[in-house]
Amino acid sequence: MTTIFTESKMTELVRLMSRAKSIVITSHKSPDGDSMGCSLGLFHFLLKQGYPVTVCHPDMAPSFLHWMPGSEHIVLLESEPEKAKKLLENADLIFCLDYHHPSRTGKMEELLVASKAGKIIIDHHRDPDQEFATLLFSDITASSTSQLIYDFIEALDRLDLIDEKSGTCIYTGLVTDTGSFRFSATSARTHHIAGDLINRGIKTWQVHENLFDTNSLNKLKMVSYALLEKLVILPEYKTAYIWLTRKEEERFQVIKGDTEGLVNQVLSIEGIRLAGFFKEADQIIKISFRSKGEIPANQLCKMHFEGGGHLNASGGKYVGKIEDAVQKFVTILPNFVEENKALFE
């Protein structure tokens, strides 16, 4: 197996880790299962060996991830700005996990850039920021950054230290970033790691229950409403989408994370190859796309909605009214489908 964790880089990293008096693990804003999984997986692994390590995230994860072991120890820049600032200022080593560029951390960016600490990027997004990283470990074929944390531990020859806590976190990242082992980035390696984690005692059924069987009634009602009243299907383009206003979200008392899986449900419709979701956020319209096969959902965001992401899962934004964001999408769609004609067959 070829690895991004080459001997020379690992020697350098081990040297930096052993000298560090304060190690801080960071990840992108709007945490997801993978950013939480890789952060906390690495956190437990380092803590077990006595490293002085803290996790510091820009903002809070959605509530369906709060059960993750160690989640309560994460310092949030959003709610504890002074504490977070001090941590980043005084850190000797900062792990930058699951993001390719410091701008993905929102308000944390300036603190990261100003920090004199060594910065270790471990990530699976395209075009990582070479200049920002002291050491860069980038593998865009990896299913998740959590998978890369497992690779990192293996490169250190310390898989024996993976326990229920770190293993559960890593497994959570694998499950969430692969859509439960469905997306095309799911490899034999991904399944191998999942199998090895099971051998090490993690309870996979509990992870799935925690992730998927804890819906609030309000959330289910919102999903029902969205599918019944707001779903638009464009059969000629094998595309479907939903858009929700803030008023509609308020009607169902939607909380952070509730609308997360909606776009995947839209994509699950038979014959649909591309799915979109639009919602009103602070000042902007947040947009997500999901696609089947090789349809480049990331290109769609990159070219038209100031975003990017993965081939099958991307995000972007639009400044203006939600109706105009939807209209823009409907206008550019025929061309996008034409350009990727074979992939829509």
Q: Of 143 and 166, which has the nearer Cβ to Mn ion?
A: 143
- Give the H/E segment covering residue 88: helix 81-90
Could you tell me how many residues make up the chain?
Answer: 345
In three-state secondary structure terms, 210 is helix
Is 98 a residue that touches Mn ion (CB under 5 A)? yes
Q: Select from 14-22, 29-37, 83-91, 227-235 the region that touches Mn ion (CB under 5 A).
A: 29-37
Find the binding residues for Mn ion in span 141-160 (CB under 5 A).
144-145
What Cα–Cα distance (Å) separates residue 256 from each residue in 32, 72, 244, 261?
11, 17, 14, 12
In the numeric block, the tokens 């998978």 are attached to 147
Residues touching Mn ion, count (CB under 5 A): 5
For the bound state, the minimum distance from the C-beta of residue 304 to Mn ion, rounded and expressed in Å, comes to 23
Q: Select from 75-83, 127-135, 139-147, 255-263 the region that touches Mn ion (CB under 5 A).
A: 139-147
Strands (E), 132-251: 135-138, 232-234, 239-244
Q: Of 144 and 239, which has the nearer Cβ to Mn ion?
A: 144
Q: Of 151 and 177, which has the nearer Cβ to Mn ion?
A: 177
Q: How far apart are CA 88 and CA 275, in angstroms?
A: 39
Q: Select from 12-20, 169-177, 221-229, 325-333 the region that touches Mn ion (CB under 5 A).
A: 169-177
Q: How buried is residue 160: exposed, middle or buried, by Cβ count under 10 Å (0-12/13-18/19+)?
A: exposed
- Under a CB-based contact definition with an 8 Å cutoff, are residues 170 and 197 in contact? yes
Q: How far apart are CA 268 and CA 249, in angstroms?
A: 22
In three-state secondary structure terms, 121 is strand
Q: Select from 110-118, 161-169, 170-178, 307-315 the region that touches Mn ion (CB under 5 A).
A: 170-178
Find the binding residues for Mn ion in span 212-271 (CB under 5 A).
none
Choose, by CB under 5 A, the member of 24, 27, 29, 34 that binds Mn ion. 34
Q: Which residue is nearest to Mn ion (CB)?
A: 34
Is 177 a residue that touches Mn ion (CB under 5 A)? yes
Q: Of 144 and 312, which has the nearer Cβ to Mn ion?
A: 144
Residues that bind Mn ion (CB under 5 A): 34, 98, 144-145, 177
